[in-house]
Structure 1
Amino acid sequence: MALGEFELIERYFTRPTARAVLGIGDDCALLAIAPGQQLATSTDLLVEGRHFLSTVAPERLGHKALAVNLSDLAACGARPLGFTLALALPAVDEAFLDGFSRGLFALAEAHGCELVGGDTTRGPLAIGITVYGEVPAGAALLRSGARPGDTVWVSGRLGDARLALEGFRGHVSLGEDFESLRVAMEEPQPRVALGLALRGVASAAIDVSDGLLGDLGHVLRRSGVGARIDADAVPRSARLAARPLAWQRVCTLAGGDDYELVFTAPPAAEDAVRRAGAAAGTAVTPIGRIEAEAGLRVVDARGEPLAEDWPSFDHFKS
């Protein structure tokens, strides 16, 4: 007999909660916030064919669905508490649900983030997650704090996810690198520990979801500043560095789906930034500087301006 909605929830998504006061089973979940903390929340919707391919392994899809939300908490410097899941399925597929829920809960447990509620329905495959975290009052990392003279930093390495996508599209041959690059696109690692370590150190932050330059542009607009970025200083993998320079720049500057953090900090905080990266086990690299003049100026390693345009991803333009 096929599973019904409530049997599906009970079998694959109901787990005891340790941090939430009340989880799945009532009309609302209850989350207790410690005194002096603020609630941080973010929502992402993933639609098949737009955000993920139909060939993605269910475990990786479960991981990524939560990872993109945890990445938002990381950019805010918030500690994860819990999340809700809205899941639309064309039909009940228990093999899919088993893999999806295992990938979802493996990442959730790694970050102490509990599933506390949600909804299921029949329809084209789509996944909506709302995540909740806590951050000390006044300590959240915002997009509006960058100041002239600040250094622009980025975590990890950028571009592999975009390179994998171009491989899927048939625009580039990846050979034996394909499977490892595919992991970068389908199983990103949210930089929660780094976001926590950067509280009180970084002046502004955002996660790289739609492309480095486009996402950094949101910080510049909110902060009322500009920036100068060295395109060739942006960290990349050896696999990407072996590609033509034009490909490297497209993938690192406009790739998207990296889910690394790009953040700013005063020059005097350089040692503190590097300590934060070391504490989080994540490489951090300076790639430019915030300037008073509005706009984003991209240069090469020699300081020569680059005239190319690297638009970020836009759901209604791309």
Structure 2
Amino acid sequence: MRRMGEFDLIRRVFFRTTPAAPGVLLGNGDDAALLAPAPGRALAVSSDMLVAGRHFLPDVAPQALGHKALAVNLSDLAAMGARPLAFTLALALPRVDEAWLRALAEGMLTLADAHGCALVGGDTTAGPLTLALTVFGEVEPPRALRRDAARVGDDVWVSGVLGRARLGLALLCGELALSGPAAETARTQLLRPLPRLALGQALAGLAHAAADVSDGLLADLGHILAASGVAAELDVDALLREAAAPEVRALPPATALSYALAGGDDYELVFTAPAARRDAVQAAAVRAATPVARIGRIVAGAPAQHPLADGAGRVRLLDAHGRPYPLPDGVRLAGFDHFATIAA
């Protein structure tokens, strides 16, 4: 009997013969997949790479890693207001462990099935543990949420809670000690984020601009501001009260502010919408079963010198009375640095 090769195993674990998903004319098994968005819709395409030691701890459970690898890509589609269609997976492995690989596939494909997102191709090679995914979605172009569409007078909103994933990382790295349900919730937020696809689609055509909170609220809102050539004023008191996770608010002030404003890995949506549409935004959030909080407003700012410029400096932090917010000593407001190692 012929021994199953390592990459035969990978293909058998990941690639399944299933009925074609809507929008997928040809899935895995050929030189390329064929995708066809619905009439009047455009493809939304995004890629993310996760590297051991930079984006995740090397000893993370494989099922959680599979889930998160796809979730962070689906979060990009959520930020565009797009519906998922399909994705590809490129995988580098230092060695092939069948049990580990099957758990990775289970975490990834369970999330894919939940959102009707078909795996339609990919590649494998030997090397340091790396997962690179490209995800495809569809959206009506006039309704797409774009970073460059924020307008002066818009409200600034954020979904869910902020800082919980950064707390989860602190617990895993031994920076803080916390036990009980709050600790478990924080670790789950870090390892198994839920992409806000329902909210993104509910906001399409209603909100102006959006981004997912992957590198931290200030950094990702800054991308919107730079692309749109505007600035923002954030009510930090409102943000802490309505958007920061309760267990984050309970931390020392400098730590709480650092986690809520710059923690990263939350995969919530930060978005702008006309002030006149507040009731509609709340209604969309209810339909999507996702809480949202209004935390600031868009104001005039100088045009960006480059659309990819760092826009975090365009954010003014104010208190509830509109005065500059007094930051406590020790606050760290830099977003996630992709060239900084998180684990040896």
| Counterparts of residues 117-196 of structure 1 (less than 5 Å) | 117-176=121-180, 177-196=182-201
Q: Which 4+ stretches in 1 moved above 6 angstroms?
A: none
* Alpha carbons 1:156, 1:260 under 8 Å: kept: yes
Equivalence for 1:200 = 205
Structure 1 residue 242 displacement after superposition: 1.6
SS at match of 1:268: helix
1:114 to 113, 118, 128: 118
SS at match of 1:175: coil
Equivalence for 2:270 = 262
Q: In the alignment, does 2:310 pair up with 1:297?
A: no
* Alpha carbons 2:233, 2:318 under 8 Å: kept: yes
Separation in 2, partners of 1:303, 1:8: 56
TM-score, normalised on structure 1?
0.96
Separation in 2, partners of 1:212, 1:15: 40
Structure 1 residue 316 displacement after superposition: 3.0
Structure 1 residue 171 displacement after superposition: 2.2
Separation in 1, partners of 2:340, 2:325: 24
Amino acid across the alignment from 1:28: A
Separation in 2, partners of 1:293, 1:33: 37
Q: In the alignment, does 2:61 pair up with 1:53?
A: no
SS at match of 1:118: strand
How many residue pairs end up in the alignment?
318
Q: In the alignment, does 2:41 pair up with 1:42?
A: no
Deviations 1:287-307, CA, capped at 9 Å, x for gaps: 000001352101233433136
Q: Tell which deviates more after alignment, 10-19 or 237-246.
A: 10-19
* Alpha carbons 2:215, 2:262 under 8 Å: kept: yes
SS at match of 2:26: coil
Equivalence for 1:16 = 18
Equivalence for 2:308 = none
Structure 1 residue 170 displacement after superposition: 2.5
Q: Tell which deviates more after alignment, 303-312 or 68-77.
A: 303-312
Structure 1 residue 13 displacement after superposition: 2.9
SS at match of 1:144: helix
RMSD value over aligned CA atoms? Answer: 1.5
Equivalence for 1:316 = 339
Separation in 1, partners of 2:13, 2:47: 25
| Counterparts of residues 50-89 of structure 1 (less than 5 Å) | 50-89=54-93
* Alpha carbons 1:156, 1:283 under 8 Å: kept: yes
Structure 1 residue 54 displacement after superposition: 1.9
Amino acid across the alignment from 1:312: G
Separation in 1, partners of 2:252, 2:10: 48
Equivalence for 2:214 = 209
Separation in 2, partners of 1:251, 1:15: 43
Report the CA distance shift for 1:301/1:65 in structure 2 as closer, same or farther (over 3 A): same
Deviations 1:37-84, CA, capped at 9 Å, x for gaps: 101000000001111112221111111000000000000011100000
Percent identity (aligned): 55
Q: In the alignment, does 2:258 pair up with 1:250?
A: yes
SS at match of 1:49: coil
Deviations 1:218-252, CA, capped at 9 Å, x for gaps: 10011111000112322122222221222111101
Structure 1 residue 2 displacement after superposition: 6.0
1:238 to 231, 240, 246: 246
Q: Which runs of 5 or more structure 1 residues have no equivalent in the other structure?
A: none
SS at match of 1:210: coil
Q: In the alignment, does 2:288 pair up with 1:286?
A: no
* Alpha carbons 1:17, 1:23 under 8 Å: kept: no
Structure 1 residue 98 displacement after superposition: 1.2
Separation in 1, partners of 2:168, 2:12: 36
Equivalence for 1:7 = 9
Equivalence for 1:99 = 103
Q: In the alignment, does 2:279 pair up with 1:271?
A: yes
Amino acid across the alignment from 2:202: A
Separation in 2, partners of 1:67, 1:302: 38
Report the CA distance shift for 1:316/1:50 in structure 2 as closer, same or farther (over 3 A): closer
